[in-house]
Amino acid sequence: MTKVFSNSKSIDDKVRKNVFNFDRIFKWIAAGAAAYILAIIILMVIEVARGGEPALTRFGFDFLTGTDWNPVEGREVYGALPYILGTLVTAAIAMVIGVPISIGVAMYLSEMASKNIRTPLSFIVELLAAVPSVIYGLWGLFVFRSYMKDFIEVPLSNSLGFIPIFSGRPFGLDVLTAGVILAIMIIPTVSAVSREVMMAVPNAQREAAYAIGATKWEVFRHAVVPYARSGLFGASILGLGRAVGETMAVTMVIGNAVGAAALPTSLLQPGQTMASIIANEFNEADPFSLHPAALIAIGLVLFIVAMAINVAATLMVSRMVKTKGSIE
C-alpha cells in the first residue's frame, strides 16, 4: 500500500518536472520568435543607415529639403523632397477617397446586408485584398488611365484649371491617378478590418438605440461608430501603411518624373514617390557613385515616415480609447 503510494508520487513528480522543463523551453522559443522580429528591425535600420550614410553625410539636411536629383557623373546632387511629398500626397488622396468608401462598404456589410448577401460579398472583398499589386498597376496603366483622363482629369482641368493643383495638361499618368489606384487598393483591406470591428460591437448597443426610436443612420452614427472608433482608426492606418509603401502599382501609373519636375505642385502632372524612385533607379545605379547610397537613404526616410505614421496612429488610438471609448 505504502509502496504503491510512494511510486505514484514519484511518477507525479517526474511528470511535473517534465512539464516544467517543457514549459520553460516553450517560453524561450516564444521569446526567441519575438526577439527575431526585433532583431530584424534593428538590423534593417542599421543596414539601411549604413548604406545611406555616404549620401547623408555629403548632403546633410539638404538631402531632405533639396529638390534636385542628378545622378550624372561629376554633377551629383540628391534631394529627396519631391519624393517625400509625392508619397505623402498620393497616400493622402488614397485615404480621402478610400476610407469613406471602405467604411461605407463595412457599414453595409455589418449593419444592413442580409445574410445571403453578406457572406459572398465579404468573401469577395477579402479576395480583392489578395490581388497582387502589379495587377492593379497593369490595369491602371492600360485601362483605368484612359478613363481617368477622359472622364475626370480633362473636365477637372477645363473647369478648375486655374487652381494650381489642377493645372497642366492631363494625360492620365500622374499623382491623381496614382492616388486613386492606391485608394482602390486599400479599400479591401480597410473595409475587411472595419467590418470585423463593427461586427464586434455588441448587439445591445444597437438594440438600445433602436429602442429609443433611432433610424439606421442614427444607430450607426451614435451606437456603432463611437464603440468601434479606435478599431476603425486602426483599420485606416493599416490602409495608410499600404498606401505609403506601395511600389509596383504606383511606379506604373505615377509618371515617374525626377527632380524638381517631380514636385507634386499639380495633381495632374507626373510625380514620384519614395518607393517608386528606389524601384526605378536602384537596378542600374552606378556602384561607383553616390547614387545607390542616395537611394538607400531614401529607403531610410521611407522607413522613418512609415514608423512615424504608425507610432502617431498608435498614440492616437490609445488616447481615443481613454477619452472617447464609451458612448457620447
Nearer to another protein, 89 or 103 (CB): 89
Q: CB under 8 A: which stretch of 43-51, 110-118, 140-148, 175-183 binds another protein?
A: 140-148
Q: How far apart are CA 68 and CA 60, in angstroms?
A: 14
Q: CB under 8 A: which stretch of 121-129, 202-210, 254-262, 298-306 binds another protein?
A: 254-262
Q: How far apart are CA 327 and CA 270, in angstroms?
A: 45
Nearer to another protein, 98 or 137 (CB): 137
- Residue 192: alpha-carbon gap to chain centroid: 14
Interacting residue with another protein among 61, 114, 162, 287 (CB under 8 A) = 287
Interacting residue with another protein among 81, 87, 145, 183 (CB under 8 A) = 145
CB-based contact 137:158 (threshold 8 Å) = no
Interacting residue with another protein among 110, 177, 247, 251 (CB under 8 A) = 251
Q: How far apart are CA 91 and CA 65, in angstroms?
A: 20
- In the chain, % helix, strand, coil (3-state, to 5) comes to 80, 0, 20
Interacting residue with another protein among 13, 47, 73, 150 (CB under 8 A) = 73
Which triple of cell numbers denotes residue 210? 433602436
Distance of closest approach, residue 155 Cβ to another protein, in angstroms? 18
Residue with cell 515617374: 256
Q: What does the buried/exposed string (b/e) look like for 302-315 if buried means 16 or more CB atoms within 10 Å of the residue's CB?
A: bbebbeebeeebee
Q: How far apart are CA 154 and CA 166, in angstroms?
A: 10
Which triple of cell numbers denotes residue 225? 461608430
Distance of closest approach, residue 52 Cβ to another protein, in angstroms? 18
The answer to whether residue 71 forms part of the interface with another protein (CB under 8 A) is yes
Q: How far apart are CA 216 and CA 99, in angstroms?
A: 20
Nearer to another protein, 123 or 147 (CB): 147
Which triple of cell numbers denotes residue 13? 513528480
The answer to whether residue 281 forms part of the interface with another protein (CB under 8 A) is yes
Nearer to another protein, 12 or 150 (CB): 150
Size of the site for another protein (CB under 8 A): 37
DSSP 282: S
The answer to whether residue 158 forms part of the interface with another protein (CB under 8 A) is no
Q: CB under 8 A: which stretch of 51-59, 71-79, 124-132, 186-194 binds another protein?
A: 71-79
Interacting residue with another protein among 57, 146, 158, 215 (CB under 8 A) = 146
Distance of closest approach, residue 267 Cβ to another protein, in angstroms? 15
The answer to whether residue 144 forms part of the interface with another protein (CB under 8 A) is no
Interacting residue with another protein among 5, 20, 162, 288 (CB under 8 A) = 288
Interacting residue with another protein among 85, 178, 192, 257 (CB under 8 A) = 257
* Contacting another protein within 74-133 (CB under 8 A): 74-75
Q: CB under 8 A: which stretch of 67-75, 85-93, 179-187, 188-196 binds another protein?
A: 67-75
Q: How far apart are CA 258 and CA 178, in angstroms?
A: 16
**Any bridge partners for residue 68, and if so which?**
none
DSSP 172: S
The CB density around residue 148, as the number of other CB atoms within 10 Å, is 24
The answer to whether residue 286 forms part of the interface with another protein (CB under 8 A) is yes
Handedness of CA 118, 121, 123, 126 (dihedral sign): negative
Distance of closest approach, residue 80 Cβ to another protein, in angstroms? 14
Q: How far apart are CA 119 and CA 124, in angstroms?
A: 9
| Residues lying near another protein in the complex (CB under 8 A) | 68-75, 141-142, 145-146, 169, 171-173, 251-252, 255-261, 270, 272, 276, 280-281, 283-288, 291
